Amino acid sequence: MAKLPGPLEIYPLLPGTNCKECGEANCMAYATKLAEHTVKMRACTPLLLEAKYAKKLAKLEVLVRPPVREVVVGVGDKAASIGGKLVLYRHDLRYTNETSLFVDIPDTLDNEGISKRVKTIEDWTYVYIGQNLRLDGIALRGVSKDPQTFAKAAKHIAGITDWPIALCSLDPKMLSTAANTISDKRPLLYAATMDTWAEVSEIAIRHNLPLVAYAPGNLDNVATLVNTLRAVGVGDIVIDPGTASRAGLGSTIDNFTQLRRASTVNDDESLGYPIMGTPISVWANHKEGEAAYLTQWDEVLTAAAQIVRYSDIVIIHSLDMWTNLPLTFLRNNLYTDPVKPVAVEAGLKEYGNVGPDSPVMYTTNFALTFFTVESDIKQGNVDAYLVVVDTEGMSVQSAVAGRKLTAEKVAETLEEVGIADKVNHRILISPGMAARISGETEEASGWTVKVGTQDSSGIPKYLQEGKWNEE
């Protein structure tokens, strides 16, 4: 693994004023978080804005630069940040900047067709343990082979959405025409090849745009192309080593792995750039009359393999829920911090028209537990209070076993949220998995504890039948 700087290496390059503008208590606290890559360097505004710190800033930028450079596609809040990777293995630290999923739009569609597909891409979403799983960008494909048609489609897309755009064509003239039209949107140019690098790199440099280096199937050519683009002054580069489907998928994944290993383990700066996968390429093998879902399945398998093996951005075609849901699930789970459980904020939650006679339950702040319980309460259409206890993101059973969920902790939380002032009873419904601490909880809190269902799916029936209030 490439050596990452520690706080003591970073601290001397900070202003040292402890101004707190970064949101931390002092410069050392900020240095610690910067070393952990949990804050951005731009949070230190004096460092960025005051000329007297220019030399420190230049040194710090080199010191904290991740092995895989970060490249931004698009502008504003919807911009896609790709790359910025720190480690080869997730358990070494964590994965950062989750893989961006871009969906294609052919430039041969009319404006109405383009608008409809853009809206479908933007509206695709699914709520998963409190997070909105979404797609990330639009890849405009130059199917028409006509520069004006391509530029017109690019202009139309840029006018109706603020999502990041990739301009996809191997024809420099088409890229140039479209880039002239929407350069202010900072699109990603796809792509420069061994034959077109001179023309396409000039476009990227002129407009200060990120550029894909495309050299399929040959890592020596990839390295040569990237070094050439670096030498002529292209700043933001994305690498596409080619995507082969079915029989060739193994070699594709091997190439991706070698590229990421070169940057994160061997510290090869020349290959320290984001990697692009193009699962959409499986559609080139789609045969007329063949069921579309077979090719969609190929695309899902290819995309999943590339997400797991270091793709920073992938371009896909399908917009069906059954194809993209597993990909967004996979991405979401892969990019969670392995040493930091996914947790929600502790406190008091209210559902329905609660009043002084409403039942009071408690659970832990592990996100999956909380959102499952919340969903069951809402599905049951019952009025209830839910006290969320801070167990450092552990589930009920794990928190009880690990002494993160104790009678004293429950009693303290009841006091902190002030639930006693909201109801005229003192009955607390315990999760079934926390039954063994129910007696202790009664003693610590002064509340009568009723043990609820083992599984949260039984909550609606339990509450509707009024079992919690039985003598």
**pLDDT one-digit tens code per residue, 374-387:** 999 998 888 999 99
pLDDT per residue as tens digits for the range 331-373 = 999 998 877 778 899 999 999 999 999 999 999 999 989 999 9
Average pLDDT, integer, range 305-334: 96
Q: Is the pLDDT of residue 220 over 70?
A: yes
Average pLDDT over residues 431-459: 94
Q: Tell whether pTM > 0.75.
A: yes
- Does residue 306 carry a pLDDT above 90? yes
Residues in Cβ contact with 421 at an 8 Å cutoff, skipping those fewer than 6 apart: none
Question: How would residue 91 be classed by pLDDT, with cut points 50, 70 and 90?
Answer: confident
Residues of the chain with CATH 3.20.20.20: 70-334
The CA distance from 445 to 315, in Å, is: 55
- On the question of pLDDT at 450 being above 60, the answer is yes
pLDDT for the residue 310: 97
pLDDT exceeds cutoff 70 at 48: yes
Q: Are 83 and 70 in contact (CB under 8 A)?
A: yes
Query: Using CA atoms in the order 26, 32, 36, 37, what is the torsion angle rounded to 10 degrees?
Result: 40
- Is it the case that residue 395 has pLDDT exceeding 90? yes
Residue span(s) of the chain under CATH 3.40.50.11600 come to 347-469
Question: What mean pLDDT do residues 125-142 have?
Answer: 92
- Determine the pLDDT at residue 264: 93
* CATH number for the domain running over 7-64: 1.10.15.40
**Residue 2 reports pLDDT greater than 70:** no
CA distances from 184 to 75, 137, 159, 188, 209 (A): 8, 16, 12, 12, 9
Mean pLDDT, range 431-444, rounded to an integer: 96
- If phi > 0 it is left, if psi is from -120 to 50 it is alpha, else beta; for residue 37 that is left
The average confidence (pLDDT) of the chain is 93
Percent of the chain with pLDDT over 90: 80
Mean pLDDT calculated for residue range 290-310: 94
* Nearest one of 143, 151, 142 to 176, comparing CA atoms: 151
b/e string for 27-65 if b means 16 or more Cβ within 10 A? bbbbbbbbbeeebebeebebbeeeeebeebbeebeeebe
pLDDT tier, 131 (very low <50, low <70, confident <90, very high otherwise):
confident
Question: So what's the architecture of 70-334 in CATH?
Answer: Alpha-Beta Barrel (3.20)
Residue 264: other Cβ atoms inside 10 A: 23
Q: Which two tokens stand for residue 278?
A: 């193009």
Beta-strand relationship, 125-128 and 100-106: unpaired
CB burial of residue 110 (10 Å; 0-12, 13-18, 19+): exposed
Q: Considering the domain 347-469 in this protein, what is its CATH number?
A: 3.40.50.11600
pLDDT band with cut points at 50, 70 and 90 for residue 1: low
Give me the mean pLDDT over the 18-45 stretch.
89
Question: φ, ψ for residue 217 (rounded to 5)?
Answer: 75, 0
Both tokens assigned to 277: 């996968």
Q: Where does residue 304 rank: exposed (0-12), middle (13-18), buried (19+ CB within 10 A)? A: middle
What's the CA gap between 463 and 471, in Å, rounded?
15
Domain with CATH 1.10.15.40 in the chain: 7-64
Q: What is the pLDDT of residue 81?
A: 95
Residues 272, 310 contacting (CB under 8 angstroms): no
- Beta-carbon contacts of residue 183 (< 8 Å; ≥ 6 apart): 207, 209
